[in-house]
A and B are shown apart, each in its own frame.
Chain A
């Protein structure tokens, strides 16, 4: 089944404790992207990647890191999480011009 898999689905962590949210796609898509969703703000793009080893900032990149060492994986790293990073996170992938296929989301709470 063609899908984007992100883990974990839920995560509660403490301020300052490094964490990684994994994302993997099995559709051989060139493009991958991370979004955060907050009430009243819609979805905002954090980082995106147009191919292996190519990443760039979206609209809200502060406090996040990404890497794209392989085509299928695009992990999101929070080096020192803070409470304002409490959010619902989505990973997504696509071919050029097509709509993005989204993962199921990761609900992150930073206390």
Chain B
């Protein structure tokens, strides 16, 4: 069974600095998707970034980028120029590309604090 591990329960970063959130996963599949979601205090779940495992190029979305290391099964999120609005819980998630099922596995989250 697949697992997703976020080893940092909490992190803090100074406003305007760069921070990297870690995520590792375990799977025997070769084709899958990985996601980062943001959950601010409003509790809304917001998709931040998506990576397809067969693509070697790391996904980027404005100030958010990932470092996808398929062999190491690592999928870290880098936030550049951190802003106060980035303060939130961040969840890493795995989704199989196989059509057998649609089981999505989430990590337990990393709470990110932005220090003014």
Contact = CB atoms under 8 A, between A and B. Distances in A.
A105 B40 CA distance: 13
Tell me the interface secondary structure of chain B in the complex: strand
Interface stretch (B10-18, B43-51, B72-80): B43-51
Contact of A44 (B47, B95, B106): B106
B47 A59 contact: no
A100 B47 contact: yes
Interface in A41-98: 41-45, 48, 50, 56, 58-59, 88, 90, 92, 96-98
Given A97-B33, A99-B35, A99-B50, A43 B91 contact: yes
Interface residues of B, number: 24
Contacts of A33: 102, 104
A28 to B, nearest CB: 16
Contact of B102 (A40, A41, A50, A99): A50
Tell me the interface secondary structure of chain A in the complex: strand
Contact of A88 (B43, B47, B91, B106): B43
Q: How large is the interface on A (under 10, 10 to 19, 20 to 34, 35 or more residues)?
A: 20 to 34
Contact of A92 (B45, B50, B103): B45
A99 B103 contact: no
A101 interface: yes
A45 B50 CA distance: 19
A97 B103 contact: no
A109 interface: no
A6 to B, nearest CB: 12
A31 B102 contact: yes
A48 B37 CA distance: 19
A105 B103 contact: no
Interface in B12-66: 33, 35, 37, 43-47, 50, 52
B70 interface: no
A108 to B, nearest CB: 13
Interface of A: 31, 33, 35, 40-45, 48, 50, 56, 58-59, 88, 90, 92, 96-102, 104-105
Q: 6 smallest A-B Cβ distances: which pairs?
A: A102-B45, A42-B108, A99-B47, A43-B106, A42-B106, A48-B102
